[in-house]
Amino acid sequence: MKAVQYREIGAAPEVVTVPEPTPGPGQVLLRVAAAGVCHSDIALMSWSAESFPYQLPLTLGHEGAGTVAALGEGVTGVEEGDVVAVYGPQGCGRCVKCAQGKENYCLRAAELGILPPGLGAPGAMAEFLLVNDARFLVPLNGLDPVTTVPLTDAGLTPYHAIKRSLPKLVPGTTAVVIGAGGLGHVAIQLLRALTPSRVVAVDVSEEKLALARSVGAHETVLSDEGAADRVRRLTGGLGAEGVFDFAGVQPTVTLAGAVAAVEADVAIVGIGGGALPVGFNSTAFDVAVTAPYWGSRSELAEVFDLASAGAVEVRVETYGIDEAPVAYERLHAGKINGRAVILPNG
């Protein structure tokens, strides 16, 4: 079968032919309909050989959806032909975090060598994907795999970040979304669906700001040295109660801190390596700064419910598997509006 692999440090991803996997006991084979292209893949392909934590070659793709093609021995709960999405941040299933459904924060994943598909384990950018347990498959309930697959990360991750700030995002408040890309353009829709807050989107690109407005941002601000002042002016000088940074580079994290109101939540979601000092004279009183990772399985089901209700809709650009390297180039160049999705089987 064809697969999109990162094979050599610093090289571009390649489309290669690899053996088709067969499901062992407890495993499920998925015929992949769609696999999303995330900026985290660009980040991992920029790491040096010394800091690269996974084995090469690595089949990419940590957003996957498709049809159950075969069941390994003993698998129950899913059937051949079921249309499902893959829950990526897989855990041990037994520790206290996993027992709460928060497999993204599994306490034993590292020790047990459990890695998400596409982020260490073979990913979804291939004709077939082996899934280690049926519990990682979330039913799509009639949703289209192509437009829904990005919700497994670009929807789930902002949902997880936003959900816990909901008590602060009451009428009269402002939520700032920095970076209106794959995750950010879904975040804007989630904020509109779940809160009465005014939503301000910040990006370096006018096209992304236009996308932000078209998915519900009330205001848009170009990301430059004047951005913090403009966001503060939009909030009567008080700042925003929720700030969600989907770039996470030093300038945006600094901006996030500068526009955070008293008692605001700041979530650094982008993995650009920026850090925000917290303390007196650094941030406003009682600002909470977090760096959340992905989301829980129950939150993914909630995101799918929002999609079924028509509250979120991912803007997708589709590519055949042979075009996957082009999709990565375009993402790297900031040219994808919304999310690129690879269709490995057609």
Asked if 38 touches Zn ion (CB under 5 A), the answer is yes
Kindly tell me which residue out of 116, 270, 274, 344 binds ligand NAD, with binding defined by CB under 6 A: 270
Asked if 246 touches ligand NAD (CB under 6 A), the answer is yes
Asked if 244 touches ligand NAD (CB under 6 A), the answer is no
Kindly tell me which residue out of 106, 126, 180, 209 binds ligand NAD, with binding defined by CB under 6 A: 180
Q: What are 133's two structure tokens? A: 């347990």
Asked if 92 touches Zn ion (CB under 5 A), the answer is yes
CB 257 → ligand NAD: shortest distance, Å?
14
How many other β-carbons are positioned within 10 Å of the β-carbon of residue 193? 15
- Cα dihedral 91, 96, 97, 101 sign: positive
223 binds, among Zn ion, ligand NAD, none (CB under 5 to 8 A by kind): ligand NAD
CB 89 → ligand NAD: shortest distance, Å?
8
92 binds, among ligand NAD, Zn ion, none (CB under 5 to 8 A by kind): Zn ion
What mask, x for binding ligand NAD by CB under 6 A, covers residues 183 to 212?
xx-----------------xxxx--x----
Measured from the CB atom, the residue of 257 and 274 that comes closer to Zn ion is: 274
Measured from the CB atom, the residue of 95 and 149 that comes closer to Zn ion is: 95
Asked if 181 touches ligand NAD (CB under 6 A), the answer is yes
Q: What are 193's two structure tokens? A: 């669906």
- Cα dihedral 60, 62, 65, 66 sign: positive
Measured from the CB atom, the residue of 73 and 225 that comes closer to ligand NAD is: 225
Asked if 252 touches ligand NAD (CB under 6 A), the answer is yes
Distance CA 98, CA 334 (A): 36
Burial 115-148 (b: 16+ CB within 10 A, else e): bbbbbbbbbbbbbbbbbbebebbbebeebebbbb
What is the C-alpha radius of gyration for the chain, rounded to an integer number of angstroms? 20
98 binds, among Zn ion, ligand NAD, none (CB under 5 to 8 A by kind): Zn ion
- 58-59 β-sheet, strand order: 14-17, 2-6, 58-59
CB 11 → Zn ion: shortest distance, Å?
20
Q: Which residues between 111 and 170 bind Zn ion (CB under 5 A)? A: 153
How many other β-carbons are positioned within 10 Å of the β-carbon of residue 51? 9
Kindly tell me which residue out of 58, 199, 247, 327 binds ligand NAD, with binding defined by CB under 6 A: 247
- What angle is formed at CA 256 by the lines to CA 180 and CA 263, rounded to 5 degrees? 120
CB 80 → ligand NAD: shortest distance, Å?
31
Nearest to 15 by CA among 117, 125, 104: 125
Binding site for ligand NAD (CB under 6 A): 38-40, 43, 153-154, 157, 178-184, 202-205, 208, 223, 246-249, 251-252, 269-272, 292-294, 331, 334
